Structure 1
Amino acid sequence: MTQVHPTRSLPGSTSAQVTAQPHFITRVIGSSDLRVYPLALSGNVFGWTADDPATTAILDSFAEGGGNFVDTADSYASGRSELMIGKWMRVRRNRDDMVVATKVGKSRDNPGMQADAIKRSVTASLARLGTSHIDLLYLHVDDESVDFDETLLAVDELIGEGKVRYFGGSDHTGNRLIQARIACGQMGVAPMVAVQSHYNLLHRETYETGLAHVAAIQALGVMPRFALASGFLSGKYRQRADLALNSRGHDAARYLRRRGFKALNALDEVAHEHDASVATIALAWLLNKPGVVAPVVSASTATQVPELLAAARVQLTRHQSAELDRASAY
């Protein structure tokens, strides 16, 4: 078992950005003061494939293992995800211990990035979450039908009112992030501090050849979504027959090809060297990349949570990282 020292830098971060305690390792999100465990627990299954008891068990396991960063959206299960997270925090009385991220822009009631829609969405999310503020608000869509100025001013007003602490993008290209930063500077409003991007061992090119550079220049904290490639990088889909064993297996079908198998073989070898799971190593690879703060991952059961949290305590060697890079090269 890897020993966690009182102060230890994680791969891809500086010692000023990361601290560690026996059961609690943290990274700072961009230029904010939000300090999070390097794994964001997604609430996208809460209220959908995970009922109340399962959701409570997953969240309990996450918090007991040191996790403090929960990621949801007003559109997940039509708001039920936020309700369930809010109920859990209320019962556990741990709101002050958690960093809560949610997203607006895709809900049926308040779609889009118009100022009024954003404000109504945030008000509704606060009520469902049972909290006075959202720590990190993501713009869930890049709505080019609305001037960035309108969207950014609305978010800044929410920050000024104390309803939102920080915000980021979730579906924005590098060029759009540059436009947003310029607009924020011209208007004198709060800039983005984070960005979510589709990024994993088998989906690298879009992020690595464009968005990564912009995120680095703007000092944005990067939260990779689809971090386990719809479960394929957990190693549970080795052949087509495996796809039928899970309701979301069809999403992983695209990876059942030569490059996917090469990546799994490389993950198997590194996982064996660390006595860790394949999922743990796939997440550790992401955490080894500059700028990455916390991959966003969902768990179907509480028993899956420890292997996800374990990624923060795995230090890949340069050789191991290089082998994974080669096996998944695009």
Structure 2
Amino acid sequence: MSGRHGVSQHRGVNHAHGVNQHAVDDRSSDIVATPTIERTVATDVPRTAARRETNALSGPITVPQRVRLADTGFEAHPLALGGSVFGWTLGVDDAEAVLDRFAALGGTIVDTADSYASGRSESIVGRWMASRRTRDRMLLTTKVGRLPERRGLDPETLRAAVDDSLARLRTDVIDVLYLHGEDRDVPLEESLGAVGALIEAGKVRVLGASDFSPERLIEARVLAANGLPRVQLTTTRYNLMDRRPFEGAPELVAHAQGLGVLPYFALANGFLGGQVRRRAEVRHDARGSRLAQHLGRRGHRVLAAIDEIAFARDLPPATIAIAWLLSRPTVVAPVAGVSRPVQVEALLAAGSVELHRSELVELDRASA
């Protein structure tokens, strides 16, 4: 098993070329009061040059410019491929085809969890990395705490869950381990202590938090000041249709702590890809019901604003929706999933799109 990774640790912003394919999302110090956060001016981040590489098994790949993931030392393409559908709606062959396309276009962050398809998502990712020999250039993130057999964040469960994930992923180290939700039955210092031991053992590199409340993140930072591992990345639901839960205290805490935010459901279950605009087009399943909740006046207003910008730039709506997320001051890499390889390009293309102030204002107004 390989513990190395080829994700560079220099600062930079990743750029992919624009395309015109629609993408679908299948599904990421002490506190200082900050009254407002500037949203419409891009941060000036040093960049690295794009280059080409060839992998013996996966073929030629594009290595675009990259963005630094907070202060983790990692840099990567600012789009994470979500693996929640691997082993669920996508079988092994289809999932591997998506992963192949993602890697070939220079994608580097693969996001999964032990609870996705009861571990099958991790197994598919692990099999793919082993068969394509791509582990060294992937930044691998996974989550533990919600798999029924390994539920919770007590130290013993955490250690067992991580060992199980390592076996499924066919690697000896997890680049980013997220605690998958809070566990109020276990003192946070015990969970962080267990992660600290895993980091010392070389099984985990960076600690992240998934769906932690602002209060829990503050508690974690206080504990980190006393020598426990520090949360450096966080993932939560955030997109143009789901703004209010994050914008406010969670965003302020992330900003004050310098956390890198990787928002999941970046395309609101595919709604922001623009492929479904009428209730008659909605599938009668769980994902369809989640998508249908956006088919109201506000949803159509948001799609209209996206469409106008996408048409003017000759880009897919999904690219614009991801680019809006990348304009947010705390967001480092949105997490989005796809159902077909052809959809990957539209997601990665967002890394090269810098929206104008007027475009950001219009998207903010439409989604308010």
Same fold by TM-score, threshold 0.5 exceeded? Answer: yes
Question: Partners of 1:248 and 1:173 in 2: how far apart?
Answer: 25
User: Is residue 162 from structure 1 mapped to residue 202 from structure 2 by the alignment?
Assistant: yes
Q: How does 1:212-223 map to 2 (within 5 A)?
A: 212-223=251-262
TM score, norm. by length of structure 1: 0.94
- For 1:19 and 1:323, the matched residues in 2 are separated by 31
Instruction: Write the mapping of 1:128-207 to structure 2, written as runs, cut at 5 A.
Output: 128-186=168-226, 188-207=227-246
SS of 1:194 mapped into structure 2: strand
TM-score, normalised to structure 2's length? 0.84
Matched, 1:123 2:185: no
Query: What is the CA distance between 1:303 and its match in structure 2?
Result: 1.1
- Between 60-69 and 239-248, the greater mean CA deviation after superposition: 239-248
Q: In 2, distance between residues paired with 1:319 and 1:21? A: 29
Evaluate the alpha carbon distance shift between residue 131 and residue 9 of structure 1 in structure 2; reply closer, same or farther with a 3 A threshold. Answer: closer
Could you tell me which residue of structure 2 aligns to residue 92 of structure 1?
132
Residue 15 of structure 1 corresponds to which residue in structure 2?
A: 45
Q: State how 1:267-286 maps to structure 2 within 5 Å.
A: 267-286=306-325
CA deviation vs aligned residue, 1:101-159 (integer Å, no higher than 9, x gap): 00000011110010011000000000000001000000001111110110000001100
Letter in 1 for 2:248: T
Structure 2 residue corresponding to 1:82, chosen from 118, 122, 133: 122
Asked if residue 232 in structure 1 is aligned to residue 271 in structure 2, the reply is: yes
Q: Which whole-Å CA distance do the structure 2 matches of 1:8 and 1:252 have between them? A: 31
Q: Is the 8 A contact 1:12 1:291 kept in 2?
A: no
Q: Does 1:290 align with 2:320?
A: no
Distance 1:49 1:305 in 2: 16
Flag the 1:212–1:197 CA change in 2: closer, same or farther, 3 A: same
Letter in 1 for 2:212: H
Return the offset for 1:69. 0.3
| Counterpart in the other structure of 1:302 | 341
- Superposition deviation, residue 14 in structure 1: 3.4
Aligned residues between the structures:
321
Note the C-alpha offset of 1:216: 1.0
Cα separation, partners in 2 of 1:9 and 1:135, compared to 1, 3 Å: closer
Contact 1:74–1:106 under 8 Å retained in 2: yes
TM-superposed CA distance for 1:314, in Å, is 1.0
Query: 1:265 and 1:76 mapped to 2: Cα distance?
Result: 33
After superposition, the CA RMSD in angstroms is: 1.5
Partner of 1:110: 150
Asked if structure 1 preserves the Cα contact closer than 8 Å seen for 2:112 and 2:121, the reply is yes
Describe the superposition over 1:242-276 as per-residue Cα deviations: whole angstroms up to 9, x where unpaired: 11287722111111111111000000000011110
